[in-house]
Structure 1
Amino acid sequence: MFQEDLRKQVKGSISEKSFYSYFKNTTEKLPRVDVLNMLSEYCGYKNWVHFKSSIPQNKILEKKKLKPKWLVFLLLGVLFITSAYFLIPRNHTFTFCFIDQDRNKPIINTPIDIIVLNNKQSPFYTKSDSLGCFRWSTKDDFIRFVIKSPYHKTDTIFRSTAKITNENIQVSTDDYALMLHYYANGRLEDWKNRKNELSKMIADNAIIFQVLPSGLGIEVYSKNEFITKLTTPTKSLKNIEIIESKRIKGQIVKLKFRVKS
């Protein structure tokens, strides 16, 4: 683990044979300068010279000259303390809030189902809270989880501590499931509201086209035609996949999609 951490911190390594043989050797000869520089950098110093210059000479010297090997032992002591700090497992806390991609608002009316899938652990099932957020603490330096919602598309999220651990995640609406719900339950007002939302989202002069299968070309849609397609629970709506979209001032001005077979 020390070698792995050394490679991670300073992008270098020391052979175990060289490392341990030095302690058994009674010679006053120092290791190579590049090795000393590497160990010094790992301990938080610029190099070997910087490490030596940081030692309070009036407290540790009884003679005018400090023996070179004594300095190395001191460096190795600092090295072990530093490596222990990095190698002790620490908890990492990830916080995610889920945002409806269309409405640009937190998803709070229907909790998001979350399945955490970190290694060496059984799947852990939980839900987003009343603010549409989810927090997870772990000794792992990453998190992988699946999000599910009745009216949003399922997605798998992977994040590591190398990235931001507090994040807003955009979640796409599952228009087919939503329209099916409105049609099946006679939610006429909700259906009209959804059409109005889409009308505000899409610019009047938006360029919208479907990429046809087998290289047959494209089919161009007007804004109203596309909104009708998105608000009718057909099989093609269920299989729509957005390939590319472009927004200006929050409105969609270009959209390319396909219908998966």
Structure 2
Amino acid sequence: MEAANKKLFELLKQAVSDTFLKENHAPIAIGDWKGEEIERFQEDLFVHTRGRVSEKWFYTYFKNEAEKLPRIDMLNLLSEYAGYENWNTFRSKHGELLALEENPKRKNNKFLWLFLPVLPILIAMYFLLNSENSFRFCMIDEDRGEPITQIPLDVKILSEGQSPIYLKTDSSGCFEYSSKEKIIRFVVQSPYHKTDTIIRHIDANENANVPLATDDYALMLRYYSNGNLGELQKRKQQLNNLIADDAQIYQIFPAQSGIELYSKEEFINKLTVPTSSLKNINILDKRYRDGKIVKLKFSIE
């Protein structure tokens, strides 16, 4: 693959990754994505473009060093997903930038004085580009779709080469943080929600909501230990409203040894008794339609 085409394709891969990370959690480098992340990308690509790429294609062009560019129809598909009309549009926009990078020294230096009037603008742009980015995130209960405001949640900001910075969410369930970095990585911890590590780009953070999955074991343990049957029944009703009556619910067993099908009632009962299996439950996938869960896969670790 020619050097210019290689650079353009790397830029396209980065644009595809940035688009996916705006609404999904995955490693920043697209080459580090694995099974579940690749599957979610395939689904997201289809939703936005009605086009598909196979897992084999993904490994050939995104996880390995490709010897040549993909077919033009695939380049058009990925460019559309990244927000461009087609590959030619993407190439024309980034081709000029590549040309400037490859030819930093201008000829006809005697005309350099012509650029002096724009020097103040360049200086202003330099300080603008080096200013701090302001992030604001709000924690949302994944089941209820409401802000988590009952108690402050612990937030740990992770920066490469630096000690973690510890914050808490405010009364609205949100926190703010400023950094020169364009990407923020943080861990959210809650007594009644599962700990999660979040990675977001500055372009995707405006009024960003972070959904947190309920830790059903911790929640049920609190209800049972306090004898709070009213809250227990409220939780059951909440799950009943959240899950469709005809939902397909599967337990996936290790090493692909089989699956077990659950009814809605059986699954709700499993989520509302603090057993050891509930403590180790792991939701693998959830699909929604009209605000209700219609398909769910889980495993017990």
Query: Where does structure 2 lack aligned partners over 5 or more consecutive residues?
Result: 1-93
Q: SS at 1:107's partner residue? A: coil
1:82 corresponds in structure 2 to 122
Which one of 7, 13, 20 corresponds to residue 101 of structure 2? 13
Q: SS at 1:137's partner residue? A: strand
**Larger of the two Rg values belongs to structure:** 1
Q: Deviation of residue 70 (structure 1)?
A: 4.2
- Aligned pairs for 1:139-158 (under 5 A) are 139-158=180-199
Q: Compare the two structures and name the one with the higher helix fraction.
A: 2
Q: Deviation of residue 80 (structure 1)?
A: 8.2
Q: SS at 2:177's partner residue? A: strand
Q: SS at 1:116's partner residue? A: strand
Q: SS at 1:140's partner residue? A: coil
> Which whole-Å deviations, capped at 9, do the CAs of 1:216-258 have from their partners, x for residues lacking one?
2111111111001001111111111112221111111111111
What is the distance in 2 between the residues matched to 1:169 and 1:153?
A: 12
What is the distance in 1 between the residues matched to 2:202 and 2:221?
A: 39
2:146 corresponds in structure 1 to 105
> Which whole-Å deviations, capped at 9, do the CAs of 1:167-219 have from their partners, x for residues lacking one?
01111101011111111221111111111111111111111111122322111
Query: Which residue identity is paired with 1:92?
Result: N
1:225 corresponds in structure 2 to 266
Q: SS at 1:177's partner residue? A: helix
Query: Where does structure 1 lack aligned partners over 5 or more consecutive residues?
Result: 1-6, 20-29, 32-67
Equivalent residues, number: 206
Partners of 2:243 and 2:294 within 8 A in 1: yes
What is the distance in 2 between the residues matched to 1:159 and 1:83?
A: 29
Query: Which residue identity is paired with 1:10?
Result: L
Q: SS at 1:209's partner residue? A: strand
Cα 1:121/1:77, change in 2 over 3 Å: farther
Q: Calculate the aligned-residue CA RMSD, in Å.
A: 2.5
Q: Deviation of residue 81 (structure 1)?
A: 5.3
1:187 corresponds in structure 2 to 228
- Aligned pairs for 1:1-261 (under 5 A) are 10-11=97-98, 12-13=100-101, 19=105, 31=107, 69-75=109-115, 78=118, 82=122, 85-86=125-126, 89-260=130-301
Partners of 2:141 and 2:211 within 8 A in 1: yes
Q: Deviation of residue 89 (structure 1)?
A: 2.3
Cα 1:177/1:72, change in 2 over 3 Å: same
Query: Which residue identity is paired with 2:101?
Result: S
> Which whole-Å deviations, capped at 9, do the CAs of 1:101-155 have from their partners, x for residues lacking one?
1011110012211111123432111111111111111222221111000000101
Q: SS at 1:119's partner residue? A: coil
What is the distance in 2 between the residues matched to 1:70 and 1:166?
A: 49
Give the TM-score taking structure 2 as reference length: 0.62
What is the distance in 1 between the residues matched to 2:242 and 2:289?
A: 10
Query: Which residue identity is paired with 2:174?
Result: C
Partners of 2:249 and 2:263 within 8 A in 1: yes
Query: Which residue identity is paired with 2:261?
Result: V
What is the distance in 2 between the residues matched to 1:79 and 1:236?
A: 66
Partners of 1:202 and 1:251 within 8 A in 2: yes
Q: Compare the two structures and name the one with the higher strand fraction.
A: 1
Give the TM-score taking structure 1 as reference length: 0.71
Tell me whether 214-223 or 148-157 shows the greater mean CA deviation: 214-223
Q: SS at 2:220's partner residue? A: helix
Query: Which residue identity is paired with 1:125?
Result: Y
Partners of 1:93 and 1:165 within 8 A in 2: no
